[in-house]
Amino acid sequence: MNKKQQHQPTALATISMTFIGAFCFATTLHARDTASDIRFTDLAARLGAATPTGAGIGIGQIEAQENADGRYAPDTTLPEFAGTTFNLLSGTGLPASWHSTEVGKALYGNTLSIAPGITSVSVWNANFWVTSAFLKVGQGSSFPPLNPPTGVKVFNHSWIGSFGNTTNDNDALRRLDYTIHRDSIVVAAGVNNGAGSAGQPMMSYAYNVIAVGLPNGAHSNSLTPTGIDGPNRRKPDIVAPGQFTSFATPVVGAAAALLFDAADSDPAVSTNTNASKGITIKAALLAGANHRPGWSNGAPESGTTKGITTTPLDPIYGVDLLDIDRSHMIFTAGEKNGTTSVAPTTLTPHRGWDYLATVTAGTSVYWTFRLHQPVAEASVLAAWNRQVVTTLSSSTVQNFDLRLWKLNGGGLDSISGTNGVGVYASGNVESNSAIDNVEHLYLRNIAAGDYVLELKRNTGATSFPVVVAWYMPETTGNPADLDNDGFVGAADLSLLLSQWGSAGSADLSGNGTVGAEDLSQLLASWG
């Protein structure tokens, strides 16, 4: 089903809206396959009872009106939603919307979602949410977007639409980007269905959302057009399983809820306020994606420009397929601070992220990595929000570049162009977009050695936070180097003590219990 809906709740031009889905007859099988495809099954096998569920995280679900009778809300009486409290903000919600119900199953369903711990859901009719009930498009700077209901950290938009004019469309996108940063939330927004189909501005053209497509490429992948703020940016940002983008989008929303849950409950990050910021969650989700064979962001694989690109994302798949297990590993590895100059002996663990509140124009931040053996891949992503002024009339966007260098003693050797031959097989070591608010490096088959990652801020817009997140496989050095940062020290001791008396990675002796024998082995390797 693919219906156009028209509504006129305000004096604004009518929004033409479409909910982007169709009937699904194999929901249970789809859910099981989805969990495997996005490696949620790996996450659950790794963490067991400690697997996050989205508990305590509120959801905002925005739905296009399905029929002339105004239906927009899920069927709240279903057993799949038992224990869930619904806050219906655009009327009674009766009769129930089929589309809203199916989106809800994937987003917070008890058996069909990866985030069954979600129990608080606020639901709006999209037309009212955009105009009078939340964003307040067309109402000027005296009426900024409202604050989300208490506890809501993730919004889901499984619909597309446009006012039919760029003035109102841009106002909607600026207001959405404004609230994403102001309220530190994550917004998952589906793109249009159909390979080669025309995109729609709302809501996937916003800078600060996570725009969602399909793994088979059956979605719009058009560049943001002239007239929209920031033309020629690539969308979508990521893909996830679903018969249509309506049902892929809530899979990404549920994944964001899991990481917000981890930010509250995982001891590795729960004391760090930067972990609960929406831009940190977004960076971890994008950096952890599964780059399938054929993925490319356009970097040449030979010659003088080998490994250099100005387009961070694949033109069809963005960063590619959501991998919640890998994103969770990145996220719970915790914040690893970079340095303002190259620090050859300050080694960074192979997984982690860094929230940088400010980076001065014309300066760089560095992280040093040691690969003890060759690795199959490495993924690094920087993400930042565009800054919308309080009048909501304009915005600025910082310009960052990402680059990977080979460390040679205390100096840096370029691995761009022909210098990269023998260092890595394919992918990119420079990401230099002048228009996007992400930069992304992805390399395959990287040689052992020491490397330096550089985030450089070019001159331009006012400083605004940026998050860098990364993943590369662990390599074997000293077994006592529990955090795999290249040396044995206080961080490893802390990990060992946290596992004292139980089985865990700090069981260096292999006797099944972390204890004095393991402590002795770690201390013998100190430094």
> Where are the chain's structural domains?
51-265, 334-471, 477-527
Strand pairing category for 159-162 and 210-213? unpaired
Q: Shortest CA distance to 212 belongs to which of 177, 256, 170, 171? A: 256
| DSSP line for 59-120 | EEEEE---STT---S--TTSGGGTT-EEEE-SS---SPPHHHHHHHHHHH-TTTSS-TT--E
Assign 3-state DSSP to the chain and report helix, strand, coil percentages, each to 5.
Answer: 25, 25, 50
DSSP letter at 219 equals B
Decide if domain 51-265 falls under CATH 3.40.50.200: yes
Q: Work out the average pLDDT over 103-124.
A: 98
Strands in 375-384's sheet, in edge-to-edge order, are 351-356, 466-471, 375-384, 438-446, 424-427
| Phi, psi angle pair for 396, to nearest 5° | -130, 155
The C-alpha atoms of residue 174 and residue 334 are separated, in whole angstroms, by: 31
Confidence bin at 25 (pLDDT 50/70/90):
very low
- Per-residue pLDDT at 486: 66
Per-residue model confidence as pLDDT tens digits over 383-411: 999 999 999 999 999 999 999 999 998 79
- Joined tokens for residue 204: 């996937």
Residues 211-219, mean pLDDT to the nearest whole number: 97
pLDDT value at residue 22: 41
**What DSSP line would sit under 286-352, residue for residue?**
HHT-B--TT---S--SSSTTTTEES--SBTTTBT-B--HHHHHHHHHH-B---BSS--TT-BPPSEE
Tokens of 379: 């993924």
CA–CA dist 93, 446 (Å, integer): 54
Q: What is the pLDDT of residue 130?
A: 96
pLDDT-derived band at 512 (thresholds 50, 70, 90) equals confident
The per-residue pLDDT for range 485-502, each reduced to its tens digit, is: 767 888 889 888 988 988
* Model confidence band, residue 503 (pLDDT cutoffs 50, 70, 90): confident
Supply 375's token pair: 């690795």
List phi, psi (to 5°) of 349.
-60, 160
Question: 4 falls in which pLDDT band (50, 70, 90)?
Answer: very low
Q: What is the mean pLDDT of residues 81-90?
A: 98
Enter the pTM of the model.
0.89
The predicted pLDDT at position 277 comes to 98
Q: Does domain 334-471 have CATH number 2.60.120.380?
A: yes
Tens of pLDDT along 119-158?
999 999 999 999 999 999 999 999 999 999 999 999 999 9
Name 449's bridge partners: 371
Q: Report pLDDT digits (tens) over 331-372.
A: 999 999 999 999 998 999 999 999 999 999 999 999 999 999
Q: Quick one: pLDDT at residue 19?
A: 52
pLDDT higher than threshold 80 for residue 7: no
Would you say residue 224 has pLDDT above 50?
yes
Reference 200, options 155, 250, 241, 159; nearest CA is: 159
* Residue 159 DSSP SS3: strand
**Which residue is listed with tokens 């053996």?**
373
Average pLDDT, the chain: 92
Counting residues of the chain whose pLDDT is more than 90, the rounded percentage is 81
Residue in the structure block whose two tokens are 């400083």: 463
Contacting residues for 493 by C-beta, under 8 A, at least 6 apart: 522
Measured distance CA(33)–CA(198) in Å, rounded: 29
Q: Determine the average pLDDT of the residues in 252-256.
A: 98
Tell me if domain 51-265 and domain 334-471 are identical in fold. no
Q: Does domain 477-527 have CATH number 1.10.3720.10?
A: no
Least Cα distance to 383 among 312, 292, 310, 308 occurs for: 312
Q: How far apart are the first and last CA of the chain?
A: 63
**Is a pLDDT exceeding 90 seen at residue 481?**
no
pLDDT of 57-76, one tens digit each?
999 999 999 888 889 999 99
pLDDT at 524 (0 to 100): 84
Judge if the upstream peptide bond of residue 17 is cis by omega within 30 degrees of 0. no
Does position 447 have pLDDT exceeding 90, yes or no?
A: yes
Per-residue confidence at 195, pLDDT binned at 50, 70, 90? very high
Mean pLDDT of 81-105: 96
Mean pLDDT computed over 182-191? 98
| Confidence label for 15 from pLDDT (cuts 50, 70 and 90) | low
Hey, which residues does 352 pair with through a beta bridge? Answer: 470
* Residue 69 pLDDT: 86
pLDDT at 186 over 90: yes
The reported pLDDT for the residue numbered 3 is 30
Tell me how crowded residue 116 is: count the other CB atoms within 10 A of its CB: 18
Question: Where does the pLDDT of residue 1 fall: very low under 50, low under 70, confident under 90, or very high at 90 and above?
Answer: very low
| Cβ neighbourhood burial of 454 (10 Å; 0-12, 13-18, 19+) | middle
Going by their DSSP bridges, the two strands 120-125 and 85-88 should be labelled as parallel
Q: Which of 253-257, 463-467, 476-480 has the lowest mean pLDDT?
A: 476-480
| Percent of the chain with pLDDT strictly greater than 70 | 93
pLDDT at residue 20, rounded to an integer:
57
**Range from 18-27, 63-72, 286-295 carrying the lowest mean pLDDT:** 18-27
